[in-house]
Each structure stands twice: as structure tokens, then as C-alpha cells.
Structure 1
Amino acid sequence: MKTYLNVISFNAVIVISLSMIHSINAYSNIANHKNIQNNITQLKNISHAHSECLINFQKQILLIEEDINVLRGQIQDTEHQLSKMIEQQKNIIQKIDGIIKKKSNLSNNYIDNNVIFHSKNTENIFHTNNDNNQHINDYNKAVSLVLENKQYEQAIQAFQKFILQYPNSVYQPNAHYWLGQLNYRKGNKHNASYHFALVAKKYPKSLKAADSLLKVGIIMQENGDNDNAKFIYKQINYLYPNSDAAKQIHKRLKQ
């Protein structure tokens, strides 16, 4: 009887042990399953984050490509406008050259023989010396003939002589401008146009350049050459947009 009970007890222990082992294995399987699920979830999160990064990168690349296309278009427009301006400037230089050449062909008559060194009205205006300021004094004397004495013919002769005597003077553009004004006043538009064109071409940075170009256009318009006159006016807008000359051409472009 005692042996029988011992057998039963041993069997019970075996059953209980097997149950415990089964429970432990089941718990272990559950734990492993949870770990796997967690790992899968983490991988999914990482993959999702990577996908979002890729999408954002693609969006940024598209935006950059759009910006590049816009900039490329702006560069092309700028190049086109620049080429147009260069071509227009070439055309205006050709027109101005034409004016200057017409006058240069008559260079023998540009200054009368009695004007250069023998005019009684101007023989005492200039005095040659080594003073660097002499050209300023001579220029001021020529200007005073216009503004103070109203001696316009003598002023023309004085400015002509000044141009010959001081070819490197900073007042060269001013002297040519004055000759343009004085010739225009006496009705000699051909000579006036020559001097204004010379200022516009040789001294484009001069304070008189924009107004000289305007005067060339005005003379063209007065001579019935409206197309070329309007072309000149448009060039003033391009070359000297902030000048007083540019402000005056709006009405003339409508004529």
C-alpha cells in the first residue's frame, strides 16, 4: 500500500512538472512573440520615417528644379534684353556716326580760315602759356561771350578755337555742346546735330550726353525723320533712364 502511494505521488510530481514546463514554454513563446511584434513595429516605424524623408527630399528636389527653371527663364530673358540693348546701341552709334561723317566730309569748311587764328573778334581771347588753368580761363571767357555779352558769333569762334587748342580738356564735351546750342540758335541744324552727336558718342558719361542725344532726336524730328527720332528717344530711356532728358521724351514719343 505504501509503495502504491509512492508511485502515485511520483506520477503526480511528473504531471505537475510537465505542466510547469508547458506553462514556462507557453510563456516563453508569448514573450518571444511580443518581442517579435515590437521589433516588427519598430522596423515599420523606421521604414515609415524613411519613406517620409524620401518624400520630403523629392518635394524639395522638385521645388529646386522649379526654382532653377524660373532662374533659367529669367537669365534667358535678361540675355535677350541685353542682346537687344547692345544691338540698339550699335544702331544708335551707326546713326550718330552717320551724322558725324557727313560733317567730317566737309571738314575743310568746318572752321573758316578767318576763324582759326586771324579773327579780329577773337584774336585776344586766348593767350598761350604754360599755366595748367589757362584752358579753364579760356573756356570761361567763351562762355561769358554767350551769357554776359550775348556775342553769339564771337562765342562760336571762341569755342571752335578752344576745341582745337585744348583737345584733352575736360571741357571738350561742354564746348561741343555750346557749339551745338549756338548753331541750333542760328538755324544751322546740320552743324548743331554734328556737335550734339559728337558729345553723345565721344563723351557718353558726360553730364551733357543725355541732353545732347535728346537734341539729336529733336533735330531729326524737326527734319521730318520721326522714326529715327523716336528710336533715339527710346535709347535715352535705356541709357539715361534717370536723366532730365528721359523725363522730356514721353510727350515726344506720342507725337
Structure 2
Amino acid sequence: MKPKKLLAAIMILSGSTQILAAPAPVSEAANSQSSLEQRIAQLESMMKTRNLLQVELQQQLGLLQDEVSQVRGVTEEQSYKLEKVLQRQRELYQEIENRVSKVYEQASSSVATEVVIDSSQAVSSDLSENEAYDKAVALIMKDKRYDAAIPEFQSFLTTFPTSVYIPNAHYWLGQLLSIKNDDENAIGHFKTVVDNFADSNKRPEAMLKLGTLYEKQGKVELAKSILTTLLNEYPSTTAAKMATERLSKI
């Protein structure tokens, strides 16, 4: 081949190579565009997933807040109820204390009256008998130990069964047991005084107490009967005046 023709051929081939190589940048741009779109799609997918997670977390947080509110409401309600219970207990304790104080004051007044009556009755010549009786009475008058006085009087009845203080001891036991709301045993001691010691100056008071306890138990006819007997047998006594008032209310 001639040099000129060879040179021309080379130039043609060189140009064709450039022409064939020219489309390469277009393909790379297409690939780059596709990769960018994929990344954008991935980012959108990630954003969508994150948004869904945020919504779910907000829902769970809302549920937790509702549960906390419910628990707080229950706790406040329980605290309110507990405070009401504690307040009621305090009121009951105060009421019990007031009632006990009132009973003790009444018992103390009753004891003071009875001691005056005791001074007008027969006195034993037995020193130990007098000491035992005085000890039991002192537990009521001086020490205000009403519970401790009960076994002392019970022991006195056993130790000195023929003592002149026997009706007094029964009467005191009736008084002390009625304060403790042991009505049945109190009635037994008052009945002993009424039925067995007609000459005792404790008998009118025992009859009054007996009628009061019968009324308390709902035994109205028995109460009326014993109080009426008291009025008939001891019309001028203080016990009779109190019996009149009680009968008017039955």
C-alpha cells in the first residue's frame, strides 16, 4: 500500500475509534443515575421505616402514660380510702376513750356514795377480814383499778363466807362486772343481795341495778316488777326516786 493511502487509512481508523469510544460517557452517566435513584429509594424506605417506628413508639408511649395515669388514679383512691379508715379508727378510739372515762367517772361517784353507806353498817372485829375488805375497796376508791378489784372481792367471798361484808362484796362485784358489760354475772351478784340479804342496806341499790340490767336485756316486765318492788319496800330512798324516773321511761 502506498504511504499516502496508508496514512489515510490510519486516520480513518483513528476517527472511527473515537466515534466508537464516544458513547462511553453516556453509559456511565446512566449507571450513575440509576445508582443515585437506588440510593434515594433506600433513603426513602429508611425514612418511611423510621416514621413508622416513631408512630409506633408514640403509640406505646401514649399507652404507658394512660397506664401510669390509671395506676396513679387507683393509688390516689386507695390512699383516700386508707386515710378515711385511719380517720374512722381515730374517731372510734376517741369515742371508746370517752366512754371508758365516763364509765369510770360514774363508777367513782357511785363508789364514793357507797363508802358513806358502809360507814353506817356493822363492822367485823376480825382484823384480817377488815384488811381484806378494805384492800378490795381501796383498789376502787384510791387506785381506780377496777379489773384488779374483781379477783380481790371474789377471793374475799371464798375466804370469809360468813363475813358481815358478804352482801357488800356481792354488790361491788355486780357493779364492777356491769361496767365490763358482763351483765349475766353482774345480775347473779345483784340477785344474791336482793334474795339472800333482806337486811342489807345494799339491797335497794342492788334492786335498782337489777332492774336497769333487765331493761338493758329487753326483759321489760322483769325490770318493771323489780323496780315496783323497790318503790314499795324502800319508798324514801334515793334508789326509789331513781326507780321512779326509770319506770316513767320504760
Question: TM class by shorter-chain length?
Answer: 0.5 to 0.7
In 1, Cα distance between equivalents of 2:20 and 2:206:
132
Q: 2:55 aligns with which of 34, 39, 44?
A: 44
- One-letter amino acid matched to 1:49: Q
Q: 2:154 aligns with which of 170, 174, 179?
A: 174
Per-residue deviation at 1:33?
Answer: 1.3
Q: 2:125 aligns with which of 96, 116, 123?
A: 116
In 1, Cα distance between equivalents of 2:88 and 2:157:
37
Larger helix share, 1 or 2: 2
Which residue pairs with 1:27 in the alignment?
38
**Which 5+ residue runs of structure 2 have no aligned equivalent?**
1-11, 140-147, 192-203, 224-250
Which residue pairs with 1:139 in the alignment?
none
Seen in structure 2, the aligned counterparts of structure 1 residues 178 and 65 have a Cα distance that, compared at 3 Å, is farther
State whether residues 156 and 169 of structure 2, in contact with CA within 8 Å, keep that contact through their aligned partners in structure 1: no
Percent of aligned positions that are identical: 5
Q: 1:56 aligns with which of 67, 81, 84?
A: 67
Which residue pairs with 1:241 in the alignment?
none
When structure 1 is superposed on structure 2, of 160-169 and 61-70 the one drifting more is: 160-169
- One-letter amino acid matched to 2:82: L
Is the aligned partner of 1:163 residue 2:174? Answer: no
In 2, Cα distance between equivalents of 1:221 and 1:108:
18
Report 1 or 2 for greater relative contact order, CA contacts < 8 Å, sequence distance ≥ 6.
Answer: 1
State whether residues 163 and 175 of structure 1, in contact with CA within 8 Å, keep that contact through their aligned partners in structure 2: no
Per-residue deviation at 1:5?
Answer: 3.5
Per-residue deviation at 1:31?
Answer: 0.8
* RMSD, aligned α-carbons: 4.5
In 1, Cα distance between equivalents of 2:153 and 2:54:
81
Per-residue deviation at 1:43?
Answer: 2.6
State whether residues 176 and 196 of structure 1, in contact with CA within 8 Å, keep that contact through their aligned partners in structure 2: no
In 1, Cα distance between equivalents of 2:38 and 2:117:
117
- One-letter amino acid matched to 1:74: V
State whether residues 174 and 185 of structure 2, in contact with CA within 8 Å, keep that contact through their aligned partners in structure 1: yes
Which residue pairs with 1:80 in the alignment?
91
State whether residues 230 and 253 of structure 1, in contact with CA within 8 Å, keep that contact through their aligned partners in structure 2: yes
- One-letter amino acid matched to 1:210: D
Q: 1:11 aligns with which of 22, 32, 50?
A: 22
Task: Figure out how many residues of one structure are paired with residues of the other and give that number.
Answer: 185
- One-letter amino acid matched to 2:133: I
In 2, Cα distance between equivalents of 1:27 and 1:58:
46
State whether residues 190 and 206 of structure 2, in contact with CA within 8 Å, keep that contact through their aligned partners in structure 1: yes
TM-score, length basis structure 1: 0.54
Which residue pairs with 2:248 in the alignment?
none
In 1, Cα distance between equivalents of 2:92 and 2:13:
117
State whether residues 177 and 199 of structure 1, in contact with CA within 8 Å, keep that contact through their aligned partners in structure 2: no
Deviations 1:29-49 (A, max 9, x none): 111111222222223323322
State whether residues 214 and 220 of structure 2, in contact with CA within 8 Å, keep that contact through their aligned partners in structure 1: yes
Which residue pairs with 2:208 in the alignment?
223
State whether residues 100 and 197 of structure 1, in contact with CA within 8 Å, keep that contact through their aligned partners in structure 2: no
Seen in structure 2, the aligned counterparts of structure 1 residues 78 and 101 have a Cα distance that, compared at 3 Å, is same
Seen in structure 2, the aligned counterparts of structure 1 residues 11 and 87 have a Cα distance that, compared at 3 Å, is same
- One-letter amino acid matched to 1:116: S
Per-residue deviation at 1:197?
Answer: 2.7
Which residue pairs with 2:104 in the alignment?
93
The secondary structure found in structure 1 opposite 2:23 is: helix
Per-residue deviation at 1:12?
Answer: 1.6
Is the aligned partner of 1:197 residue 2:169? Answer: no
In 2, Cα distance between equivalents of 1:73 and 1:40:
49
Per-residue deviation at 1:21?
Answer: 0.5
State whether residues 173 and 186 of structure 2, in contact with CA within 8 Å, keep that contact through their aligned partners in structure 1: no
Per-residue deviation at 1:52?
Answer: 1.8
In 2, Cα distance between equivalents of 1:220 and 1:22:
119
TM-score, length basis structure 2: 0.55
